[in-house]
Structures are given as C-alpha cells and as structure tokens.
Structure 1
Amino acid sequence: MRRVGRILGWVLILLALVVLGGDVLASLDSGGDFMPRPFGQLWFDVNADSLNLLQAAIQRHVHPAIWEPGITTILLLPAFVVIAVPGLLLAVLCRPRPARRRAMFY
C-alpha cells in the first residue's frame, strides 16, 4: 500500500510540475507577468460538467456553506499548488521506513 501511495504522490508531483511549466510558458507569451492558473479554471478547462455536477451535489445534498467559502477557496488557489500538496504529502507519508539498527549488546 505504501508503494501505491508513493507512486501516486510522485505522479501528482509530476503533474504539478507540468501545470507549473504550462503557466510559465503562458506567462512568457503574455509578456512576462506570471499569473498562475487557478485550480477551478484548470478543472473547468478539463471537464466543466464534473465541476458543475460537484457544485450542485454539494449545495443540494451536503450544505451550501461548504461550497461557497470552503471549496471556492480551494478552486481559487494556483493549480500547481493544489496538485502538489497532496502529492508531497503522499510521497512523504508513504516513503519507505528506514531499516532498524540492531543493538550490538543486549
């Protein structure tokens, strides 16, 4: 299970670097001002229907207050940060444990 978590963590880190690279390239095209893409914009570009479905489901079945201050805040963060943080957490928490050293004298 640790191996799966570690691999998933590294995949998320790699994906965050790809998104960051895309943001850097877009900033070079726009004159050099670095404006990272918000996570909500990336999600909308990839699959707008699932974002709208999630919003409707949370507002109807859970509570509208969870969507507006909570999830909206996450959607406004830079996409590479939102993707990298869980990746880093998984990579660190699922890293292999160091081998135990045995005492020479009991």
Structure 2
Amino acid sequence: MFRFLFRLMATFALAVAVIMAVLDVTRTIAASRLVLTPLRDSWASVSPGTLEQVRVFIVENTHPLVWNPIMTSLLDQPGFAVFGVLAFLLYAIGRRPERRIGRFVAER
C-alpha cells in the first residue's frame, strides 16, 4: 500500500517536472537564450500566499537556519530539477524489492 503511494507521488512529481521543463524549453526558444525558472518564481506565480505561509511555518517550527541556507538554496534551483530529483527519490523509496528466491540456485 505504501509502496503504491510513493510510486503515485513519484509519478505526480515527474509529471510536474516534465511540465516545468517544457515551459522552460518554450521560454528558451522564445528568448533565444537559456531560461531556467527557479522554483521560487514558479511557486510565487502560482500561489504567492502559500510560499509565505511555508516560510513562516518553517521559521517558527524549526531552527531559522533551515529556511535561510537550506530552503532558499533549494528554491533557487530550477523547478524541473527539484521535482525530477524528488520523483527519483520517491520512486526509489517505493520500488519493489528484488526477489531473492532462486538467486543462488543453478538454473538449467
């Protein structure tokens, strides 16, 4: 059940990564230069209020250093890369373990 949920979240994160990559490629072609949209800009254009709420939540409930060096550097990365790595990690957590039956058995 949990493996299925992790794989489902990985699929969703991969879909978001592909959408963000297509947007960046489209902007790159239109501008005739490389355009990589940071996650902060994408998030602020979709829902600016939630970005501030997450900042306040992290600063109030964790150490303030979690927001400033860690989260700000993460939010400055291209959105497609962040969601691509997230998709990979979620899929790795939710993958099925390798079957060990017959692993050392001589097969004919």
TM-score (structure 2 length as normaliser):
0.83
In the alignment, structure 1 segments of 5+ residues that lack a partner are none
What is the CA distance between 1:14 and its match in structure 2? 1.9
What is the CA distance between 1:61 and its match in structure 2? 4.0
| Cα 1:62–1:89 shift into 2, 3 Å | closer
Match of 1:87 in 2: 87
Give the 5 Å matches for 1:1-106.
1-31=2-32, 33-102=33-102, 103=105
| Cα 1:100–1:52 shift into 2, 3 Å | same
What is the CA distance between 1:63 and its match in structure 2? 3.3
> In angstroms, what is the RMSD of aligned CA positions?
1.7
Aligned residues: 103
**1:45-78 Cα deviation digits (max 9, x unpaired):** 1110011112223334433322211111111011
In the alignment, structure 2 segments of 5+ residues that lack a partner are none
**1:12-57 Cα deviation digits (max 9, x unpaired):** 11210111011000111112x1221101111111110011112223
What is the CA distance between 1:83 and its match in structure 2? 0.8
